[in-house]
Amino acid sequence: MSSTVEKIKEKLSIEEVVGSYITLEKAGTYLKARCPFHQEKSASFFVSPERNTYYCFGCGQKGDIFSFVEEIEALDFLGALKILAERAGVPIERENIKEKSERERLFEIMEDATVFFERNLRDSKEALIYLKDRGVSIESLKQFRVGFAPDEWHSLITSLGKRWSENDLFLAGLTKKGPKGNYDAFRGRIMFPIFDASGRVVAFSGRILKNESEEAKYINSPETPIFEKSKTLYGINFAKNSIREKKFAVLVEGQMDLIMSHQAGVLNTVATSGTSLTYDHLTYLKRITDTLVISFDSDPAGVNASFRAALMALEKSFFVKASVISGGKDPADIVKTDPKAWQKIIGEAPSVIDYFLSIAKKKITEGKSSEADTILKSQILPLARSIESSIDQSRVLAKVSLEFSLPEGALRDEMQKITIEQISSSPPKNINVSKGKSYLRKALSVLFVLRELDKEKAEEFGKKILNLTGLESLPEEEKDEIYFEGKMNYGSENLDYYQNEALFMLEDEILREKLSKSIERLKKAEAVKDKEEESRLLREFQEISLNLSNLSKKYNIIR
């Protein structure tokens, strides 16, 4: 495997690989860009063509072409290897075929299962008729590798059991355990393979062919070592390049909607595949686009799902649109009737606020003002509240004010009553100060550069760092990496200023942490009515606050 890696690195430069995902600009001997792995307004992501590495001073992400593709495509090493090997035209060579990891075995099992289901679809007249009636072309069946699971208890086990153990098939999520032994998990279903970003099959979604039974219409693979449903978007392997090219993604709910959307030429479509939209899905999409068109079904459940998805996407700073589909139809129905109509719907999709405004206006026209008010309070204002930019918020409120003939001030007051916790299903946000943002790290990077230029000043500066932090000795781990940061950020000029700035930021960080803890203790003292402790902590709080306010003057830093 190592020889394959080296051959790929010889053929693909870091500039070429990273530059195919983000726009790089020259910065001396380096290249820089806004980091694709975290939100930022100014560029802190640097690429070193000389070292064939990258580093972000904002979030601490670093590595080579393999780690970059792993991170940006949400893949493991083997997935990144597959993408880069295909791009470089290098065959993947294994040094020891016998020693396959569990993940490699699972990928091979899923590939074998896909071939098994494809073969069975060719023999199932009933399944082929159903797919033809839904408008799916032969070309789409081949592209998306659609298959069929026979309505039998052990057909897959019998076929794949010649090569794989019962435990392997169970671990892949293809079988279930019963009182009389394992049996096939998918039976009598049209099978849609779910691919990762590199095109490997990681799971399946199966649609029941006959509706007489009480079984679920769709069932999906369970989570396995190679499949996390909260991180996997159906069709991303086919859509990602088109999303980058067109600069927006279309989000639909299921496999049929996605296949038909691609069939209609809307190649930048992905699907949530039977699961709710997650922040992991949005994090991945945010790396390749800032615009999202939500195209869920037009029934009440679909409209509610669109609202929830829009809230999450706005929170992630997407520009969000919503397609206008009428008559309770879904995207697959529209494509079957008129593919060009679907293209037009996507092309003319309004902003998600305008989408819900149009629904409310229709209610007013129908004489259902109370329902329109409900939409305003429960959907439009929460969406406006989720918009990050206060300028964009003001524009939305001005438009809503005009449409509803309501004072803008009253709308703003009502909106401000809505908390993010009330409208969002996002997990609590913990402040995560990564090592890339730690001001101790910044101070050390200045110190390591200073040691090269003036040992006496470096020693004095080091003592100041120790006094501030209370450390017995300065950390030397990752010294080369921190030194690299320093060399990129600080030259021999203005080092006095950089020392003061680093100490200012470090002490500011330390004091604010102390202030936060002081407030917590003060609240506890107030709760138990400990007046003496309360008085002491109040003095402590005032002292820390005073030190914070005098910090700029202390280090002669203007903030």
Per-residue model confidence as pLDDT tens digits over 233-266: 999 999 999 999 999 999 998 899 999 999 999 9
For 52, which DSSP code? Answer: T
CA atoms within 13 A on the CB side of 526: 8
The answer to whether 418 and 382 have CB atoms below 8 angstroms apart is yes
Q: Which of 106, 349, 82 minimizes the C-alpha distance to 237?
A: 82
The answer to whether 88 and 98 have CB atoms below 8 angstroms apart is no
CA–CA separation, 40 vs 103, rounded Å?
A: 35
Element housing 241 (H / E) = helix 236-246
Above 50 in pLDDT, residue 430?
no
Q: Where in the chain are all domains bearing CATH 3.90.980.10?
A: 102-227
Work out the percent of the chain whose per-residue pLDDT is above 90: 48
Over residues 297-316, the pLDDT tens digits come to 888 888 888 999 999 999 88
pLDDT tier for residue 59 given thresholds of 50, 70 and 90 = confident
Q: Where in the chain are all domains bearing CATH 3.40.1360.10?
A: 236-423
Q: 360 vs 95, which has greater pLDDT?
A: 360
What pLDDT, on a 0 to 100 scale, did the predictor assign at position 444? 84
Q: Where in the chain are all domains bearing CATH 3.90.580.10?
A: 2-88
- Of the ranges 433-437, 471-475, 515-519, which is most confident? 515-519
For 207, which DSSP code? Answer: E
Above 50 in pLDDT, residue 557?
yes
> Across residues 203-218, what is the average pLDDT?
84
pLDDT tier for residue 479 given thresholds of 50, 70 and 90 = low
Which residue has tokens 């088109």?
A: 242
Average pLDDT, the chain: 86
Above 70 in pLDDT, residue 478?
no
pLDDT tier for residue 426 given thresholds of 50, 70 and 90 = very low
**Amino acid symbol at 386:** S
pLDDT tier for residue 480 given thresholds of 50, 70 and 90 = low
CA–CA separation, 187 vs 155, rounded Å?
A: 9
CATH 3.30.450.40 corresponds to the domain 2-88: no
- Cβ neighbours for 58, distance < 8 A, ≥ 6 positions apart: 35, 38, 40, 44, 45, 436, 437
Work out the percent of the chain whose per-residue pLDDT is above 70: 89
Instruction: For the full predicted model, state whether its pTM sits above 0.85.
Output: no
pLDDT tier for residue 429 given thresholds of 50, 70 and 90 = very low
What pLDDT, on a 0 to 100 scale, did the predictor assign at position 476? 64
CATH 2.10.109.10 corresponds to the domain 102-227: no
Fold assignment, 236-423: Dna Topoisomerase Vi A Subunit; Chain: A, domain 2 (3.40.1360)
CA atoms within 13 A on the CB side of 335: 23
Q: 267 vs 549, which has greater pLDDT?
A: 267
Over residues 69-108, the pLDDT tens digits come to 999 998 988 899 999 999 999 888 764 444 567 888 999 9
